[in-house]
Homo-oligomer: A and B are copies of this chain.
Amino acid sequence: MKYDLLIHNGVVVTMNPGRDILTNGIIGVRGGKIEWVEVESSTSEKPLPEASEVIDADGGIIMPGLVNTHSHLPMTLFRGLADDLPLMEWLNDHIFPAEAQHINPDSVFWGALLGCAEMLLSGTTTCCDGYFHEDKVAEAVDRIGMRAVLAQGVIDFPAPGVLDPRENVEFARGYTERWQAASPLISPSIFCHSPYTCSADTLKRAKAAANEKGLLFQIHIAETQSEIDQIRSERNVSPVKYLDGLGLLDERTLLVHAVWVDEEDIAIIAESKANISHNAGSNMKLAAGIAPVPEFLLSGCTVGIGTDGCASNNHLDLFQEMDLVAKLHKANTLDPTVLNAPSVLEMATRGGAKAVGLQQLVGCLEIGKEADIIILYSHRPHLIPMYNPVSHLVYTATGADVRDVVVSGNIVVKNRKILTIDLDDVMAEVQKIGQRIIGK
């Protein structure tokens, strides 16, 4: 009955169905899963159960690892390359040319590995990603030992690794087959870029390929006003209605952005049980707009938080993103009660897990769930006093307050050191790629 891992002496923010917060909690892990969650006995008569490894949280917060519902991991390579530009100039004059010239299996692997390191070090244990050469992203995720839903990108143009767009859906299907059972931490997925870069036929075939194996289908949708104008002029309906008409909306679909949606669109999304990834920082930085998240939540939609690729954010820290989400919608509605701290923490944990189809595995700390757990420092000046741990998590802590990270029972970060890779090596490799990108 010995545990593999015990975590104790901290405030456990469980995010379980009762949203219990255990002032002095203890968690027992065996076989990668949570087997025991209790309030720790305060008497020495009841010693800790036996365990191969014990983590003393030293009074800090113990909580489920965060779920980032939208990323393009290899785009760490392009962070800060171009900012503060109109969207089309940013894409056409900077990002697309850099991708065309510098995205290859090797750069995708190193860029993704760096992104995973940043995520783990800021408390994200699961991400939902989409890019090209996604096999190499999967190799990086597998190497570092984080959990992820990883999608091969589909677009009706020549793309890195898929030069003939007629093969894009078949290529994605092949990718999902290669990764379907390759790693217990990786769930393959298919990501259609958008309704304006994929034909109706491509969209339907991609969704069908995802459906065959019960995989998540992802798509950028209703990100900008100009997208709405384009789809309306071509299809005479909103992008959401267009996807709905194609039969693409169901509980295994993740709609990324969903900024420009009207009441009818929201009702369609809620009815279909399609999920939403809210990317506040990226939408703000690119001046795309502000998604109606309070309305999504009122309508019963499942909403997770995403950082987007870090060329448009420019970081992957979900703690900062929680603060941003909580504040943005208050300013936008002039109502200080919307998106309160508990509801935002929900989006970054349980909500995100449900949005990417992993709610059976992660998103809260309860018996039977995967042991994806993070521990925050307590003795830091900005975290004292702590009247309300949920307030601190949303409004005060950043990813830099994460001390330890456990994924599926394995300690991957300890005292802010990543144990599964040589981070210096990864940074050196990416530095070299970066110098090529700016032509040095």
Interface hit among A133-141, A163-171, A234-242, A424-432: A424-432
Q: Is residue A330 within 8 Å, beta carbon to beta carbon, of the partner chain? A: yes
Q: Is residue A1 within 8 Å, beta carbon to beta carbon, of the partner chain? A: no
Interface string of A343-379 (1 = CB under 8 A from B): 0000000000000000000000000000000000001
Query: CA of A70 to CA of B243 in the docked complex: distance in angstroms?
Result: 48
| CB proximity to B under 8 Å, residues A318-361 | 320, 323-324, 326-328, 330-331, 333-337, 340-341
Interchain CB contact under 8 A, B327 and A385: no
Query: CA of A423 to CA of B380 in the docked complex: distance in angstroms?
Result: 9
Q: Is residue A6 within 8 Å, beta carbon to beta carbon, of the partner chain? A: no
Q: Is residue A314 within 8 Å, beta carbon to beta carbon, of the partner chain? A: yes
Interchain CB contact under 8 A, B114 and A384: yes
Shortest A429–chain B CB gap in Å is 10
Q: Is residue A121 within 8 Å, beta carbon to beta carbon, of the partner chain? A: yes
| CB proximity to B under 8 Å, residues A403-431 | 423-424, 426-427, 430-431
Interchain CB contact under 8 A, A333 and B427: no
Which chain B residue shows the least CB distance to A315? Answer: B396
Residues of B with C-beta under 8 A to A330: 284-287
A: residues with CB less than 8 A from B are 76-77, 79-81, 83-87, 90, 114, 117-118, 121, 225, 281, 283-287, 289-290, 310, 313-317, 320, 323-324, 326-328, 330-331, 333-337, 340-341, 379, 381-382, 384-388, 391-392, 395-396, 398, 400-401, 423-424, 426-427, 430-431, 433-435, 437-438
Given the known inter-chain contacts A381-B117, A398-B400, please indicate yes or no for A80 contacting B331, CB distance below 8 A: no
Given the known inter-chain contacts A118-B381, A434-B385, please indicate yes or no for A285 contacting B400, CB distance below 8 A: no
* Most chain B CB within a 10 A radius of its CB, from A84, A317, A438: A84
Interchain CB contact under 8 A, A314 and B395: yes
13 contacts between A and B (CB under 8 A): A79-B396, A80-B386, A84-B341, A86-B337, A117-B381, A281-B323, A284-B327, A285-B327, A286-B330, A310-B396, A314-B392, A324-B327, A385-B435
